[in-house]
Amino acid sequence: MKHVISVLVENEFGVLSRIASLFSGRGFNIESLTVAETEDKTISSMTIVTRGDDNIIEQITKQLNKLINVIKVVELTESVQMAREMVLLKFAVNSGPKRLELLRLVEVYHGRVLELGARSLIVELTGERAKIEAALDVLAPFAIKDMSRTGMVALARDSHKN
Amino acid sequence: MKEISGAQILLEVLQEQGVEVIFGYPGGAVINLYDHLPEYSCRHFLVRHEQAAVHAADGYARATGKTGVALVTSGPGATNTVTGLATASMDSIPMVVFTGQVPTPLIGNDAFQEADIVGITRPCTKHNFLVKRVEDLERIINEAFHIAGSGRPGPVLVDLPKDVIAGKCRKRKVAKTSLKGYNPNYTGHPGQIQRAVKVILKARKPVFYVGGGVVLADAAAKLTALARALKIPVTTTLMGLGAFPEDDQLSLGMLGMHGTYRANMAVTESDVLVAFGARFDDRVTGRIDTFAADAKIIHVDIDPTSISKNVDVDIPIVGDVGDVLDKMLELIEGSARETETAAGGHDEWLSEVEHWRNLHKLSYEQNEIIKPQFVVEKIGELTQDDNPIVSTEVGQNQMWAAQFFTFTKPRSWLTSGGLGTMGYGLPAAMGAQVAFPERLVIDIAGDGSIQMNSQELATVVQYNLPVKVIILNNGYLGMVRQWQELFFNKHYSSTTMNHAPDFVKLAEAYGALGLRATKPDEVEPVLKQAFTHPGPVVVDIVVAAEENVYPMVPAGEAISNMLLV
B308 closest CB neighbour out of A10, A55, A69: A55
A69 closest CB neighbour out of B119, B130, B181: B181
CB-based contact A58 B127, cutoff 8 Å: no
> From CA B201, how far away is CA B224, in angstroms rounded?
16
CA distance A10 to chain B (A): 8
From B90, B95, B479, B552, the catalytic residue: B479
pLDDT at A162: 44
> From CA B442, how far away is CA A15, in angstroms rounded?
42
CB-based contact A17 B181, cutoff 8 Å: no
> From CA B232, how far away is CA B325, in angstroms rounded?
14
CB-based contact B180 A71, cutoff 8 Å: yes
What mean pLDDT value characterizes chain B? Answer: 96
pLDDT at A160: 55
Check if B239 is active-site. Answer: no
CA distance A19 to chain B (A): 10
Q: Each residue's pLDDT tens digit in chain B (565 positions)?
A: 789 999 999 999 999 999 999 999 999 999 999 999 999 999 999 999 999 999 999 999 999 999 999 999 999 999 999 999 999 999 999 999 999 999 999 999 999 999 999 999 999 999 999 999 999 999 999 999 999 999 999 999 999 999 999 999 998 877 788 899 999 999 999 999 999 999 999 999 999 999 999 999 999 999 999 999 999 999 999 999 999 999 999 999 999 999 999 999 999 999 999 999 999 999 999 999 999 999 999 999 999 999 989 999 999 999 999 999 999 999 999 999 999 999 999 999 999 999 999 999 999 999 999 999 999 999 999 999 999 999 999 999 999 999 999 999 999 999 999 999 999 999 999 999 999 999 999 999 999 999 999 999 999 999 999 999 999 999 999 999 999 999 999 999 999 998 999 999 999 999 999 999 999 999 999 999 999 999 999 999 999 999 999 999 999 999 999 999 7
> From CA B117, how far away is CA B124, in angstroms rounded?
11
CA distance A1 to chain B (A): 19
Check if B531 is active-site. Answer: no
Sheet architecture: strand order including B251-254: B251-254, B234-236, B206-210, B272-276, B296-301, B315-318
pLDDT at A89: 97
pLDDT at B208: 98
> From CA B100, how far away is CA B159, in angstroms rounded?
6
Please choose, from the candidates A52, A62, A37, A54, the residue with its C-alpha nearest in 3D space to the C-alpha of residue A153.
A37
CA distance B181 to chain A (A): 4
Check if B404 is active-site. Answer: no
pLDDT at A81: 85
CB-based contact B180 A10, cutoff 8 Å: yes
Please choose, from the candidates B99, B89, B150, B149, the residue with its C-alpha nearest in 3D space to the C-alpha of residue B124.
B89
CB-based contact A68 B130, cutoff 8 Å: no
DSSP secondary structure code for residue B552 in this structure: B
Structure confidence by residue, pLDDT tens digits, B257-287: 999 999 999 999 999 999 999 999 999 999 9
pLDDT at A159: 67
First to last CA, chain A: 21
Structure confidence by residue, pLDDT tens digits, B466-498: 999 999 999 999 999 999 999 999 999 999 998
DSSP secondary structure code for residue B476 in this structure: B
- Tell me which of B180, B185, B279, B306 to substitute to probe the interface with A (most A C-beta atoms closer than 10 Å): B180
Structure confidence by residue, pLDDT tens digits, A10-24: 999 899 999 999 999
CB-based contact B127 A68, cutoff 8 Å: yes
CB-based contact B130 A14, cutoff 8 Å: yes
3-state secondary structure of A128: coil
What Å distances lie between residue B514 and B502, B505, B535, B541, CA to CA? 10, 7, 11, 11
Structure confidence by residue, pLDDT tens digits, B411-453: 999 999 999 999 999 999 999 999 999 999 999 999 999 999 9
Residues of chain A below pLDDT 50: 162
User: ipTM, 2 decimals?
Assistant: 0.88
For B152, nearest residue in chain A (alpha carbons): A66
> From CA B384, how far away is CA B408, in angstroms rounded?
10
Check if B365 is active-site. Answer: no
